[in-house]
Amino acid sequence: MPKVHFLSPLQDLTVEAPEGTSLLEAAELGHAQVGHSCGGVCACSTCHLFVRKGLDSLSEQDDLEMDRLDLAFDVRAISRLGCQARLGAEDVEVWITEESLKAWMDENPDARKALEAEGKWPPARFT
């Protein structure tokens, strides 16, 4: 079963998930802080991730995802939407973008307050 390694200024965790699982579904399995304001229907871009390893093993990007990514911040050649990119057989490593992490904090205000109280949010750097 492939593994997804999620990284951000706040997290460093690995999740095992079956082939065909979306990166967003894997994030939810492992409690990775990936935003998903539209619920995973390719209607926002808050699940924006940078895929640092294993990019070629993921499902192909379709026109809908490309159009949605056009509206995202800081889009790179390694950008994918977590709700659209599905795992192949290989392990992948993803960086949770600033856009996605901020969205997750907005979606989880209690967790954000706790992190603020610990001095962990916002981080000094997002990259």
**CA separation, residue 69 to residues 14, 82, 104, 126 (Å):** 25, 11, 18, 19
Stretch of 30-38, 49-57, 104-112, 119-127 lying at the interface with ligand FES (CB under 6 A): 30-38
Site for ligand FES in 94-123 (CB under 6 A): none
Stretch of 8-16, 36-44, 104-112, 113-121 lying at the interface with ligand FES (CB under 6 A): 36-44
* Strand partners of residue 5: 14, 93
Please pick, from the candidates 7, 13, 42, 115, the single residue that binds ligand FES as defined by CB under 6 A.
Answer: 42
Percent helix, strand and coil across the chain, each rounded to 5?
30, 20, 50
Stretch of 7-15, 31-39, 86-94, 118-126 lying at the interface with ligand FES (CB under 6 A): 31-39
* Strand partners of residue 7: 12, 95
Question: At a CB cut-off of 8 Å and minimum separation 6, what does 69 contact?
Answer: 45, 48, 75, 79, 80, 81
Please pick, from the candidates 17, 27, 44, 51, the single residue that binds ligand FES as defined by CB under 6 A.
Answer: 44
Residue 37 has a CB neighbour count (10 Å cut-off) of: 15
Please pick, from the candidates 47, 58, 85, 105, the single residue that binds ligand FES as defined by CB under 6 A.
Answer: 47
Q: Does 68 bind ligand FES (CB under 6 A)?
A: yes
Nearer to ligand FES, 74 or 116 (CB): 74
